[in-house]
A and B are shown apart, each in its own frame.
Chain A
Amino acid sequence: MSIHTLMFGWEYPPFHTGGLGIACQGIVRGLRHHDVHVTLVLPYPNQEKGTSPFPEEDVCFARLTKMTGAYASRSVQSHSYKEHMLYDDNLGQSIEEYTAKSLEVTKHIHPHIVHCHDWMTYEAGSRSARHHRTPLVAHIHATELDRTNFCPDPWIFEREQQGFISADKIIAVSHYTKNILAQHYGIAPDKIHVIHNAHHLVDAAPPLLRNNPSKHPPLVLFLGRLTVQKNPEQFLHVAQRVHASSPDVQFVMAGDGPAFTHLIDRACAMGLENCMVFTGKITTPEVQCLFQKASCFVMPSFSEPFGLVALEAIAHGVPVIISKQSGASEVIRHGFAVDFWDADKMADCILTILRDGSLAGQLRSEAPHAIRNLTWKTQAGQIVALYKTLTHTA
């Protein structure tokens, strides 16, 4: 008999702002590989008509009357839900409505387990698990502490903590996140199960077919939301140091976010106007192109539960320098992991990669090889194993 999981999600491609949506999709597809029956609940604007934008079968919609401005920062701009936002001032109200509606639309199904993703869905998850008398799995993709430089909104923090407490098991995307839960949320470590994120990049160009990077000036890439968590300002400091030693290096800061204009001002003030390019919002083909041109990729995140983008860089054969304060550093064996505050060392790692071809060559060839087994199918296998222990003991 296949396991039936009732899953509460918030972001889901094409409506997502970051890793949460991509990870949810990876997990859902991975679980289906293992013959798990997934009923997925997602927020959806009430007035929308027409076909479901989600290709997955068995998606229930918690239709929200006022999903004010949902999905604004989603990656596909041309979509008709432009006016909606997933995260806005009325988030509390939206969550309340999502909780009520999602319980309503799922009350007649009979799942073996309830699985919810990040704090927005924790209330729905725990009430649903009580209603269906099933075990509850709370999946944590990012904590409020990661997003806010450890100055959390107390209301959100409390809802996260409440979710962790009511869950039977917590899945953290890294040991790094597990430690945050144990240290800052007071959660017993044996309740937290680490299952790393995976990547599903079959379309990445094989590293051997990349353009010869030596023909162009070296390009150093940052890609991510321009928010506190991603620490984009650090990239400027790193660039400044690299620029001082190697003036021919080009830097690209790809992505959009609240800090966009501030960062441009800072870059000019730091004298980087001729070597730093800001792309703003960026499409998938553009991302591919940048990865193909990049000599190395930098992820200086202040606090990164996982950091899927680093795996993406590796799959494109780009050497990476990533923050030690990240979950990705637990699975990336062939790269440099540096403390997020150490701009000097990050710059030094970049310069070493640019100087030593044998080092760059080894990182380019070994790193993708080392993550080839980190697929959503294998990671979902670990989730299934966890489901089984929970449903057997329940």
Chain B
Amino acid sequence: MNPSICLYFQVHQPYRLRDIRITDIGKTEMPDYFDHEKNRTVFRKVAEKCYLPANALLEELFHTYPGFSVAFSLSGTFIDQCREYGPDVLASFQRLNRTGHVEFLAETYHHSLSSLVSTEEFCEQVTKHVQTIRALFSQTPSVFRNTELIYSNHIAHIARLMGFTGILAEGTDHLLRGRSPNIPFVPPSFRLPSDQEKMIRHHRPLPARGRHITVLLKNYRLSDDIAFRFSDRSWTGFPLRAETFTDWILASAGHTVNLFMDYETFGEHQWADTGIFDFLRTLPRIWQEQGLQTKTPSAVIRDWNQRNTDVYDAHSVISWADMERDLSAWQGNQIQNAALEHLYALEDAIKQEGATTLLEIWRRLQTSDHFYYMCTKYWNDGDVHKYFSPYDSPYEAYRRYSHALHDLQYRLPTL
């Protein structure tokens, strides 16, 4: 039997920081930490190159191919930026939603690393995100994807207690140990301390905890063929044609091939002149000809009701980032760790303070991109292009971030 194909696109924008100075910290008038001009410029650029044309193309494809479907996860900060800088972009996602071919997944509203640090904050952010998706798209997400596919047994367990029936993860070789990523897995059974389970119950985004949770694993080879290698002229697969790619999917076999990637792949990471849109346009036709079905994550899980599902055992935390597929992109050096520690040290004080503006600012500072920009893993190689950063250097990223945190801390009387 041919595998089905599950397409999921991540849509996210962070709030980049302004160059505030130490002398601004603690001023009567609170400095604005966020660079609205920069954020608007980037948002509009990506909207014109990616979101609008790609959404228009998908809408067209949904009308032509009634069986074609995709899943999106829109981060809350992306949705906020749509409201500020691009109502047209939000409207185009709502149009796509009305075709009935789109599933929206749940994630942390602020695209944060909270799952690693504070379970309470994690639950609150997921709840906020689920509520927002429901309000905008009249859909209640049943599948969860954590920031940058950060995943562990622990996180899968929390997602189940939150009420999700599925969770996405990276299909890393060392955890698959030779098994195919193209079949659904389950996490090992797991218990949390009862006070934690109680707390999750208290903050649960969905009405009831799930009995089981299914893990869908990213097929990173085939996903990255599109996301990273599509326009690489030194790659043996170049130029990649939809026919060839479909042959690879067929050869990959299994139950479902999970193609997970950033939505910005289309038009932003891979520019339009690479032929990426033509590639996307051709895929559904070829798939129809070959009898390949697309399914959204919840449909894959619904159709998979086999007993004895294999266990995907992630004791330590994995992610979809870099070659390492671990946390080193956000927690790999002293400045990242100091910043993360400082950030969450403010949690109690922020929540006691009860001021919604400060809480929202604190949460925007949780976006994982802030830590990614401070990454120095490949910095020695002088390979500045390895990392997309709006700042000159990881140290500049840290300086701006640290100033924002110090100012925020200053606003909290309890500290």
Report how many residues on chain B are interfacial, defined by Cβ distance under 8 Å: 22
Residue A348 is within 8 A (CB to CB) of chain B in the complex: yes
With contacts A333-B380, A344-B21, A356-B402 taken as known, whether A362 is within 8 angstroms of B393 at the C-beta atoms is: no
Say whether A337 contacts B393, CB under 8 Å.
Answer: yes
Task: Select from chain B the residue with minimum beta-carbon distance to A319.
Answer: B395
Say whether B22 contacts A358, CB under 8 Å.
Answer: no
Q: Which chain B residues lie closer than 8 Å to A345 at the CB level? A: 19, 21
User: Nearest-CB distance from A143 to chain B (Å)?
Assistant: 24
User: Nearest-CB distance from A15 to chain B (Å)?
Assistant: 35
Say whether A362 contacts B334, CB under 8 Å.
Answer: yes
With contacts A333-B379, A334-B379 taken as known, whether A359 is within 8 angstroms of B22 at the C-beta atoms is: no
Q: Give chain A's interface residue range (CB within 8 Å of chain B).
A: 20 to 34
Task: Select from chain A the residue with minimum beta-carbon distance to B339.
Answer: A358
Say whether A245 contacts B399, CB under 8 Å.
Answer: no
Say whether B376 contacts A366, CB under 8 Å.
Answer: yes
Q: Which chain B residues lie closer than 8 Å to A358 at the CB level? A: 334-335, 337-338
Cβ-neighbour of B333 out of A335, A349, A362, A370 (below 8 A): A362
Say whether B396 contacts A336, CB under 8 Å.
Answer: yes
Task: Give B383-415 interface residues, CB cut-off 8 Å to A.
Answer: 392-393, 395-396, 398-399, 402-403, 406
Say whether A351 contacts B376, CB under 8 Å.
Answer: no
Q: Which chain A residues lie closer than 8 Å to B399 at the CB level? A: 336, 348-349, 352, 359
Residue A355 is within 8 A (CB to CB) of chain B in the complex: yes
Residue B28 is within 8 A (CB to CB) of chain A in the complex: no
Complex Cα–Cα for A29 and B85 (A): 59
Q: Which chain A residues lie closer than 8 Å to B22 at the CB level? A: 245, 348, 351-352, 355
Residue B356 is within 8 A (CB to CB) of chain A in the complex: no
Residue B23 is within 8 A (CB to CB) of chain A in the complex: yes
With contacts A352-B22, A358-B335 taken as known, whether A363 is within 8 angstroms of B402 at the C-beta atoms is: no
Q: Which chain B residues lie closer than 8 Å to A369 at the CB level? A: 380
Residue B382 is within 8 A (CB to CB) of chain A in the complex: yes
Residue A271 is within 8 A (CB to CB) of chain B in the complex: no
Complex Cα–Cα for A348 and B382 (A): 25
Complex Cα–Cα for A361 and B376 (A): 14
Complex Cα–Cα for A383 and B102 (A): 59
Complex Cα–Cα for A335 and B380 (A): 12
Mind listing 18 A-B residue pairs with CB under 8 Å? A245-B22, A333-B379, A333-B382, A333-B393, A336-B393, A337-B393, A344-B21, A348-B22, A355-B22, A356-B402, A359-B334, A359-B335, A359-B338, A359-B402, A361-B334, A362-B333, A363-B395, A370-B380
Given A362-B333, A362-B335, A369-B380, 5 more A-B residue pairs with CB atoms under 8 Å apart are A356-B402, A359-B334, A359-B402, A363-B395, A370-B379
Enumerate chain B interface residues (CB-CB to A < 8 A): 19, 21-23, 333-335, 337-338, 376, 379-380, 382, 392-393, 395-396, 398-399, 402-403, 406
